[in-house]
């Protein structure tokens, strides 16, 4: 019962955090990606359990849970920040996009 409650707590926290972490234009895609990888983990788990020794299953799940616990510590804090609406554009991509726009504008003038 405690494991199921912890799993639901982690799932809900992940959904809320992912919604705040990604910009609006890719928010639904990112939540879908997280859902897909979680479902794939649920599909693969019984095969890991039946693969051999029981300790292998607990070792794999323990490593995955540890990585899941530690990885959010490296993400940026979103408290007090407005949600992003657009993806950040690198200066190099911005320069090439502006160059393409200038070329199109020159072509329409001719």
The structure tokens 């911005």 sit at 94
More confident residue, 110 or 84: 84
Structure tokens at 94: 């911005």
Per residue in 63-107, pLDDT tens? 887 887 787 778 777 777 776 777 666 666 555 655 555 555 556
Q: What is the mean pLDDT of residues 8-29?
A: 78
Structure tokens at 77: 């804090």
Per residue in 28-54, pLDDT tens? 887 888 789 888 988 887 887 777 777
């Amino acid at each position: 019962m405690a494991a199921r409650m912890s799993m639901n707590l982690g799932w809900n926290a992940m959904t809320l955090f992912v919604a705040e972490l990604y910009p609006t234009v890719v928010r639904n895609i990112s939540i879908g990606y997280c859902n897909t990888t979680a479902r794939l983990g649920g599909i693969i788990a019984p095969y890991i359990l039946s693969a051999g020794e029981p300790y292998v299953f607990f070792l794999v799940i323990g490593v995955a849970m540890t990585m899941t616990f530690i990885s959010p510590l490296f993400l940026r804090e979103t408290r007090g920040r407005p949600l992003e609406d657009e993806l950040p554009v690198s200066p190099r991509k911005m320069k090439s996009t502006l160059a393409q726009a200038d070329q199109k504008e020159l072509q329409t003038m001719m």
